[in-house]
Amino acid sequence: MTHLGPREGITTGVIGAVIVAAFYLLLDTVNGTPLLTPSILGEVLVLRNGTPNLTVPVGMAIAAYTVVHLIAFGLFGLFLARMVHLSERSSVARYGVLQLLVAFLFAFYGVLAVASEVTRGLFPLWGVLAANVAAALAMGAYLWNRHPAFRAAIRRTPLGAGDSADA
């Protein structure tokens, strides 16, 4: 497939955003409070409310967090797609993709840990990692299928090997 520039990156990000949102929607629904997660995150991270409503979802907070969530994943998707595109020719960029994905798995947990006492207690590491692993796998699968040159480069050159092996 061809590299579609921004559209490919934004699509990659939207895939990740939808996976994470679906994960938490499922958890919230099982717990009897659909949309409580984006409500709490919206109140704390976007609306800067240190005492969010922990029982009833707040529509404005959900909308605000959804916008931020989509923008953040869209930007991450743009960067990830660009790195994959560069990785077709550079083993260093391939290593960068791996590092980027590892950082992605833990980055949001760091945000939650420093955001407030409320978010630190409500979002355990296992949940954040599970959602992010699912999102990373989905985004990775999308890009893997779209970039046969990336697949070939990974098969041809071991991760961390010099670019001379790519020739």
User: What is the number of domains present in the chain?
Assistant: 1
Q: Which pair of tokens denotes residue 117?
A: 């006492």
Would you place residue 3 in the very low, low, confident or very high pLDDT band (cuts 50, 70, 90)?
Answer: low
- Domain-located, residue 87: yes
- Domain-located, residue 11: yes
Angle between the 91-115 and 148-156 helix axes, to the nearest 10 degrees? Answer: 110
Write the CB contacts of 164 (distance below 8 Å, at least 6 apart in sequence).
Answer: none
Tell whether the model's pLDDT for residue 164 goes beyond 70: no
Percent of the chain whose predicted confidence (pLDDT) is above 90 = 73
For 62-101, how does the pLDDT look when each residue is reduced to its tens digit (9 = 90+)?
A: 999 999 999 999 999 999 999 999 999 998 899 899 999 9
- Domain-located, residue 104: yes
- Domain-located, residue 166: no
**Contact criterion met (CB below 8 Å) for 15 and 145:** no
- Domain-located, residue 28: yes
Q: Which pair of tokens denotes residue 100?
A: 């980027």
The domain of 66 spans 6-161
pLDDT at 167: 47
Other Cβ atoms closer than 10 A to 134: 15
- Domain-located, residue 117: yes
- Domain-located, residue 1: no
- Domain-located, residue 137: yes
Write the CB contacts of 130 (distance below 8 Å, at least 6 apart in sequence).
Answer: 23
Other Cβ atoms closer than 10 A to 122: 17
pTM of the model: 0.90
For 95-123, how does the pLDDT look when each residue is reduced to its tens digit (9 = 90+)?
A: 899 999 999 988 988 888 888 888 888 88
Angle between the 6-30 and 125-146 helix axes, to the nearest 10 degrees? Answer: 150
